[in-house]
Amino acid sequence: MAAWNDLSEEERAAILQGNVRARRMITVVLLVIVLAPALFFVIPSWLQTRWTGAQWLEKATHEAKSWAPDAELVSIHGVSVDAAGFADIRGRGSWRFRFRSPSREAQARATHEPKGIPGAPPPPPTSPSCSFEYDVFAGMRGGFMTDTTERHLSDGCGASLPSAPRCTITQVMDRAATRGAPRPAFAHVMLETHGDARTWAFEIPNFGTTIGGDPVFKASFADDCP
Protein backbone atom coordinates (compact mmCIF):
# COMPACT_ATOMS: atom_id res chain seq x y z
CA MET A 1 0.00 0.00 0.00
CA ALA A 2 2.92 2.25 0.78
CA ALA A 3 4.37 1.59 -2.64
CA TRP A 4 1.08 2.68 -4.26
CA ASN A 5 1.04 5.84 -2.21
CA ASP A 6 4.58 6.64 -3.32
CA LEU A 7 3.51 6.67 -6.97
CA SER A 8 2.68 9.88 -8.77
CA GLU A 9 -0.78 10.57 -10.19
CA GLU A 10 0.48 9.91 -13.72
CA GLU A 11 1.95 6.53 -12.73
CA ARG A 12 -1.23 5.49 -10.98
CA ALA A 13 -3.31 6.47 -14.02
CA ALA A 14 -1.04 4.44 -16.30
CA ILE A 15 -1.38 1.34 -14.11
CA LEU A 16 -5.17 1.64 -13.95
CA GLN A 17 -5.40 2.13 -17.71
CA GLY A 18 -3.27 -0.98 -18.23
CA ASN A 19 -5.63 -2.99 -16.02
CA VAL A 20 -8.62 -1.83 -18.03
CA ARG A 21 -6.94 -2.84 -21.28
CA ALA A 22 -6.07 -6.24 -19.85
CA ARG A 23 -9.70 -6.80 -18.80
CA ARG A 24 -10.92 -5.81 -22.25
CA MET A 25 -8.48 -8.22 -23.90
CA ILE A 26 -9.58 -11.05 -21.63
CA THR A 27 -13.23 -10.27 -22.46
CA VAL A 28 -12.52 -10.37 -26.20
CA VAL A 29 -10.67 -13.69 -25.92
CA LEU A 30 -13.53 -15.22 -23.93
CA LEU A 31 -16.09 -14.01 -26.49
CA VAL A 32 -14.08 -15.55 -29.33
CA ILE A 33 -13.86 -18.86 -27.46
CA VAL A 34 -17.61 -18.86 -26.81
CA LEU A 35 -18.78 -17.65 -30.24
CA ALA A 36 -16.29 -19.46 -32.48
CA PRO A 37 -18.30 -22.72 -32.67
CA ALA A 38 -21.44 -20.81 -33.59
CA LEU A 39 -19.64 -18.75 -36.24
CA PHE A 40 -18.23 -21.96 -37.70
CA PHE A 41 -21.80 -22.91 -38.70
CA VAL A 42 -23.38 -19.48 -39.23
CA ILE A 43 -20.81 -17.98 -41.60
CA PRO A 44 -20.83 -20.87 -44.14
CA SER A 45 -24.64 -20.88 -43.99
CA TRP A 46 -24.79 -17.15 -44.71
CA LEU A 47 -22.28 -17.46 -47.55
CA GLN A 48 -24.30 -20.25 -49.15
CA THR A 49 -27.38 -18.00 -49.29
CA ARG A 50 -25.29 -16.06 -51.82
CA TRP A 51 -24.41 -19.08 -53.95
CA THR A 52 -25.26 -18.76 -57.62
CA GLY A 53 -27.44 -21.24 -59.44
CA ALA A 54 -24.29 -22.77 -60.93
CA GLN A 55 -22.88 -23.39 -57.44
CA TRP A 56 -26.10 -24.98 -56.24
CA LEU A 57 -26.24 -27.11 -59.40
CA GLU A 58 -22.76 -28.41 -58.63
CA LYS A 59 -23.85 -29.28 -55.08
CA ALA A 60 -27.09 -30.89 -56.30
CA THR A 61 -25.22 -32.91 -58.93
CA HIS A 62 -22.86 -34.23 -56.28
CA GLU A 63 -25.81 -35.34 -54.15
CA ALA A 64 -27.52 -36.91 -57.16
CA LYS A 65 -24.38 -38.85 -58.12
CA SER A 66 -24.27 -40.18 -54.55
CA TRP A 67 -27.83 -41.41 -55.04
CA ALA A 68 -27.07 -42.94 -58.46
CA PRO A 69 -23.69 -42.70 -60.27
CA ASP A 70 -25.44 -42.41 -63.65
CA ALA A 71 -27.75 -39.57 -62.55
CA GLU A 72 -28.56 -37.17 -65.39
CA LEU A 73 -30.05 -33.68 -65.20
CA VAL A 74 -33.76 -33.45 -65.99
CA SER A 75 -34.63 -29.87 -65.06
CA ILE A 76 -33.75 -26.72 -63.13
CA HIS A 77 -36.28 -24.39 -61.58
CA GLY A 78 -35.14 -21.13 -59.98
CA VAL A 79 -37.53 -18.71 -58.30
CA SER A 80 -36.69 -15.02 -57.74
CA VAL A 81 -33.36 -15.10 -59.54
CA ASP A 82 -31.47 -11.85 -60.11
CA ALA A 83 -29.30 -10.84 -63.06
CA ALA A 84 -26.16 -12.27 -61.44
CA GLY A 85 -27.72 -15.72 -61.08
CA PHE A 86 -28.51 -15.54 -57.36
CA ALA A 87 -31.88 -16.68 -56.01
CA ASP A 88 -33.17 -14.59 -53.11
CA ILE A 89 -33.18 -17.61 -50.78
CA ARG A 90 -33.66 -15.43 -47.70
CA GLY A 91 -36.84 -14.08 -49.26
CA ARG A 92 -39.06 -15.64 -51.93
CA GLY A 93 -36.32 -17.43 -53.79
CA SER A 94 -35.71 -21.16 -54.17
CA TRP A 95 -34.01 -23.73 -56.37
CA ARG A 96 -35.11 -27.18 -57.48
CA PHE A 97 -32.86 -29.53 -59.43
CA ARG A 98 -34.26 -32.79 -60.73
CA PHE A 99 -32.26 -35.79 -61.93
CA ARG A 100 -33.01 -39.20 -63.46
CA SER A 101 -31.15 -42.49 -63.30
CA PRO A 102 -31.55 -44.51 -66.53
CA SER A 103 -30.28 -47.68 -64.82
CA ARG A 104 -32.67 -47.37 -61.88
CA GLU A 105 -35.57 -46.68 -64.23
CA ALA A 106 -34.70 -49.75 -66.31
CA GLN A 107 -34.43 -51.84 -63.16
CA ALA A 108 -37.79 -50.62 -61.94
CA ARG A 109 -39.50 -51.34 -65.24
CA ALA A 110 -37.89 -54.77 -65.68
CA THR A 111 -38.39 -55.97 -62.12
CA HIS A 112 -41.65 -54.50 -60.96
CA GLU A 113 -43.84 -53.99 -63.99
CA PRO A 114 -47.21 -55.62 -63.19
CA LYS A 115 -47.81 -58.71 -65.29
CA GLY A 116 -50.51 -58.41 -67.92
CA ILE A 117 -50.40 -54.57 -67.91
CA PRO A 118 -47.43 -53.55 -70.11
CA GLY A 119 -46.18 -50.09 -69.35
CA ALA A 120 -48.31 -49.65 -66.24
CA PRO A 121 -46.40 -47.99 -63.39
CA PRO A 122 -46.14 -49.96 -60.16
CA PRO A 123 -47.15 -48.49 -56.83
CA PRO A 124 -44.30 -46.46 -55.28
CA PRO A 125 -43.50 -48.83 -52.39
CA THR A 126 -42.67 -51.70 -54.75
CA SER A 127 -40.33 -49.95 -57.21
CA PRO A 128 -36.83 -48.47 -56.93
CA SER A 129 -36.80 -44.69 -57.20
CA CYS A 130 -35.82 -43.42 -60.64
CA SER A 131 -35.89 -39.66 -60.04
CA PHE A 132 -34.09 -37.48 -57.50
CA GLU A 133 -34.94 -33.90 -56.52
CA TYR A 134 -32.71 -31.46 -54.65
CA ASP A 135 -34.48 -28.41 -53.21
CA VAL A 136 -33.06 -25.23 -51.70
CA PHE A 137 -35.46 -22.86 -49.97
CA ALA A 138 -35.76 -20.27 -47.22
CA GLY A 139 -35.35 -21.60 -43.71
CA MET A 140 -35.92 -20.10 -40.30
CA ARG A 141 -34.07 -16.99 -39.05
CA GLY A 142 -32.99 -15.85 -42.49
CA GLY A 143 -31.06 -18.97 -43.38
CA PHE A 144 -31.77 -21.68 -45.90
CA MET A 145 -32.68 -25.34 -45.93
CA THR A 146 -32.09 -28.17 -48.38
CA ASP A 147 -34.18 -31.25 -48.93
CA THR A 148 -34.04 -34.28 -51.20
CA THR A 149 -36.88 -36.38 -52.58
CA GLU A 150 -36.78 -39.67 -54.43
CA ARG A 151 -39.60 -40.36 -56.87
CA HIS A 152 -40.84 -43.51 -58.60
CA LEU A 153 -42.23 -44.66 -61.93
CA SER A 154 -45.72 -43.66 -60.86
CA ASP A 155 -44.49 -40.07 -60.52
CA GLY A 156 -42.70 -40.13 -63.87
CA CYS A 157 -38.94 -40.32 -64.18
CA GLY A 158 -38.66 -37.47 -66.66
CA ALA A 159 -36.47 -37.01 -69.73
CA SER A 160 -32.78 -36.38 -69.14
CA LEU A 161 -29.46 -35.83 -70.86
CA PRO A 162 -26.04 -36.87 -69.50
CA SER A 163 -24.35 -33.60 -70.47
CA ALA A 164 -24.39 -30.39 -68.45
CA PRO A 165 -26.47 -27.43 -69.70
CA ARG A 166 -24.73 -25.44 -72.43
CA CYS A 167 -26.03 -22.10 -71.15
CA THR A 168 -25.40 -20.67 -67.71
CA ILE A 169 -28.17 -18.91 -65.85
CA THR A 170 -26.43 -15.56 -66.26
CA GLN A 171 -26.27 -16.14 -70.03
CA VAL A 172 -30.02 -16.79 -70.02
CA MET A 173 -30.57 -13.58 -68.05
CA ASP A 174 -28.46 -11.67 -70.60
CA ARG A 175 -30.42 -13.17 -73.49
CA ALA A 176 -33.66 -12.08 -71.87
CA ALA A 177 -32.29 -8.56 -71.45
CA THR A 178 -31.49 -8.35 -75.18
CA ARG A 179 -35.13 -9.19 -75.85
CA GLY A 180 -36.36 -6.39 -73.61
CA ALA A 181 -36.54 -7.92 -70.14
CA PRO A 182 -36.38 -5.10 -67.57
CA ARG A 183 -33.47 -4.86 -65.14
CA PRO A 184 -33.08 -5.03 -62.23
CA ALA A 185 -35.80 -7.61 -61.65
CA PHE A 186 -36.29 -11.01 -60.08
CA ALA A 187 -37.20 -13.74 -62.55
CA HIS A 188 -38.32 -17.34 -62.60
CA VAL A 189 -35.91 -19.45 -64.66
CA MET A 190 -36.56 -23.01 -65.76
CA LEU A 191 -34.59 -25.54 -67.79
CA GLU A 192 -36.45 -28.54 -69.20
CA THR A 193 -35.36 -31.53 -71.27
CA HIS A 194 -37.38 -32.62 -74.31
CA GLY A 195 -35.99 -35.58 -76.20
CA ASP A 196 -32.40 -34.78 -77.14
CA ALA A 197 -32.66 -31.02 -76.53
CA ARG A 198 -33.10 -28.63 -73.64
CA THR A 199 -35.07 -25.39 -73.44
CA TRP A 200 -34.89 -22.46 -71.02
CA ALA A 201 -38.06 -20.66 -69.94
CA PHE A 202 -37.72 -17.15 -68.48
CA GLU A 203 -40.45 -15.15 -66.77
CA ILE A 204 -40.63 -11.98 -64.67
CA PRO A 205 -43.84 -12.20 -62.62
CA ASN A 206 -46.04 -9.22 -62.00
CA PHE A 207 -46.15 -9.24 -58.21
CA GLY A 208 -48.72 -6.46 -58.29
CA THR A 209 -51.39 -8.74 -59.80
CA THR A 210 -53.34 -11.65 -58.44
CA ILE A 211 -52.13 -15.22 -58.93
CA GLY A 212 -52.36 -16.13 -62.57
CA GLY A 213 -51.95 -12.56 -63.82
CA ASP A 214 -49.93 -11.75 -66.92
CA PRO A 215 -46.16 -11.63 -66.31
CA VAL A 216 -44.12 -8.49 -66.95
CA PHE A 217 -41.94 -10.43 -69.40
CA LYS A 218 -41.87 -13.97 -70.73
CA ALA A 219 -39.60 -15.75 -73.21
CA SER A 220 -37.99 -19.09 -74.01
CA PHE A 221 -34.56 -19.96 -75.38
CA ALA A 222 -32.85 -23.04 -76.75
CA ASP A 223 -29.97 -24.30 -74.62
CA ASP A 224 -27.47 -23.69 -77.42
CA CYS A 225 -24.90 -21.28 -76.00
CA PRO A 226 -21.42 -21.63 -77.54
Per-residue pLDDT reduced to its tens digit, 117-128: 666 655 555 678
pLDDT in the model for residue 107 = 86
Does residue 114 share a domain with residue 10? no
Does residue 18 share a domain with residue 106? no
The pTM assigned to this predicted structure is 0.73
In angstroms, rounded to a whole number, what is the distance separating the alpha carbons of residues 160 and 99?
Answer: 7
Does residue 25 share a domain with residue 90? no
E strands of 157-205, at which residues? 187-194, 197-204
Sign of torsion over alpha carbons 153, 156, 161, 164: negative
Q: Tell me, what DSSP letter sits at residue 128?
A: -
Three-state SS at 168: coil
In angstroms, rounded to a whole number, what is the distance separating the alpha carbons of residues 78 and 190?
Answer: 6
Which residue among 30, 46, 62 closes a domain? Answer: 46
pLDDT in the model for residue 1 = 47
Does residue 135 share a domain with residue 211? yes
Beta-carbon contacts of 85 under 8 Å, excluding residues fewer than 6 positions away, are: 52, 53, 54, 168, 169, 170, 173
Does residue 165 share a domain with residue 126? yes
pLDDT in tens, 146-157: 899 999 887 889
- φ, ψ for residue 41 (rounded to 5)? -95, -35
* Maximum mean pLDDT: which of 8-17, 133-142, 203-212: 133-142
pLDDT in the model for residue 16 = 55
